[in-house]
Homo-oligomer: A and B are copies of this chain.
Amino acid sequence: MNRSTVPKANPVARSAGTPVTRYPAPELKDLPDDIQARILEVQEKSGFIPNVFLVLARRPAEWRAFFAYHDALMLREESGLTKGEREMIVTTTSAANHCLYCVVAHGAILRIYEKKPLVADQVAVNYRKADISPRERAILDFAMKVCLQSSELNDADFEALHAHGLNDEDIWDIGAITAFFGLSNRIANMSGMLPNPEFYLLGRAPRHK
């Protein structure tokens, strides 16, 4: 994420008094060192602290497991999925789960990775109409089935992805990312976690060459 795409300050304020979440987020300074360090690193890179880092930090053990799982899937180097494809899975399935935090935050990252300012809104509203490749469409078909009807997955679902050159390890990535963000969506919906205002605008500006 390039710092130049990040607004310096966010002039858009939420209504006075609306809490960020049902559950009070801790102060950064009160957090364990390892968590502080990671959060400062993110802040340095992004220009702000995404709310999920603070909201979950009230429970350090869960925070560590959550981000370890996140990184294992989303930063996995040997994956056959691009980082853009991974964010597309997150945005699409989080919309199906009506998770405002994940649609807005990961939609922003998706726009930046793919350099496509329109794609996040498209997959969030109806991925079947989005301006994406047949391979991406097949990935999202599988992800949506994991999200909504995982008990009905069958061999034909795997074969549809093989036809696009994806192997079973790639498919594990699709399923595990969907499953992990299904967890994230439910915790965000339960806790009332809301996206930072910065995310809404990130990656929307036309790119200059």
Bound CA span A183–B182, Å: 6
User: CB of A38 within 8 A of chain B?
Assistant: no
Please tell me the size bucket of the interface on A. Answer: 35 or more
User: CB of A190 within 8 A of chain B?
Assistant: yes
Closest to A197 in B: B118
Bound CA span A7–B206, Å: 10
Check if B153 sits within 8 Å of A189, measured CB to CB.
Answer: yes
Known contacts A66-B69, A98-B151; is-contact A186 B194 (Cβ 8 Å)? no
Bound CA span A151–B188, Å: 9
A152 proximity list for chain B (CB < 8 A): 128
User: CB of A41 within 8 A of chain B?
Assistant: no
Known contacts A117-B200, A118-B12, A121-B103; is-contact A168 B22 (Cβ 8 Å)? yes
Q: Indicate how many identical chains form the complex.
A: 6
A118 proximity list for chain B (CB < 8 A): 12, 14, 197, 200
Check if B129 sits within 8 Å of A190, measured CB to CB.
Answer: no
Closest to A209 in B: B11
Check if A190 sits within 8 Å of B175, measured CB to CB.
Answer: yes
Check if B206 sits within 8 Å of A11, measured CB to CB.
Answer: yes
A189 proximity list for chain B (CB < 8 A): 126, 129, 146, 150-151, 153
Known contacts A200-B117, A201-B204; is-contact A129 B194 (Cβ 8 Å)? yes
Closest to A192 in B: B129
The 8 closest A-B pairs by CB, nearest first: A98-B151, A65-B69, A179-B186, A175-B190, A150-B189, A61-B72, A11-B206, A65-B68
If A65-B72, A98-B126, A201-B205 are given as contacts, then 14 extra A-B residue pairs at C-beta distance below 8 Å, sorted by A number, are A14-B131, A22-B158, A23-B168, A59-B172, A62-B69, A64-B68, A99-B151, A124-B125, A128-B152, A129-B151, A146-B190, A153-B190, A176-B187, A183-B183
